[in-house]
Homo-oligomer: A and B are copies of this chain.
């Protein structure tokens, strides 16, 4: 006899909690970054570059977990707005080096100060914040290592 089907309720799902929280953070950062005309993916791109510049598109992508299909147009927009520079590597012309512009270097302190001020609105102390991040990262690792292709579907074809 088959196992009874376990019900799935939207509001009980971890995926939906993450999906919703991520969208809310997007909205939060859209407002926090509005003075700088930066989107959230552009902001994390700058965070990565402030830690290490220049980087190739590939290296940058490995830090922010985005591929060239997303990064190429994103970086072109950031170049247009003066945040980054894009240059073909002279020794290996397959690669494109992405570097911070002077504007991005100069704006770093202002952006950090403003974002940090906005973060205080969350009203989460450091311990709560760190615990939340670590919990999410723990789940994130589990999700990354799970491969549903291993489960073969035995039901009716749709």
Contacts and interface: CB of A to CB of B under 8 A. Distances in A.
Nearest to A28: B143
B20 A133 contact: no
Nearest to A121: B146
B133 A9 contact: no
Interface stretch (A71-79, A86-94, A122-130): A122-130
Interface of A, helix, strand, loop or mixed by DSSP:
helix
Contact of A143 (B24, B113, B115): B24
Nearest to A65: B20
A105 interface: no
Contacts of A32: 148, 151
Top 4 nearest A-B pairs by Cβ distance?
A110-B155, A121-B146, A21-B140, A32-B148
13 contacts: A6-B116, A8-B112, A10-B48, A15-B29, A18-B18, A19-B25, A21-B140, A21-B143, A35-B157, A121-B151, A122-B143, A123-B146, A132-B138
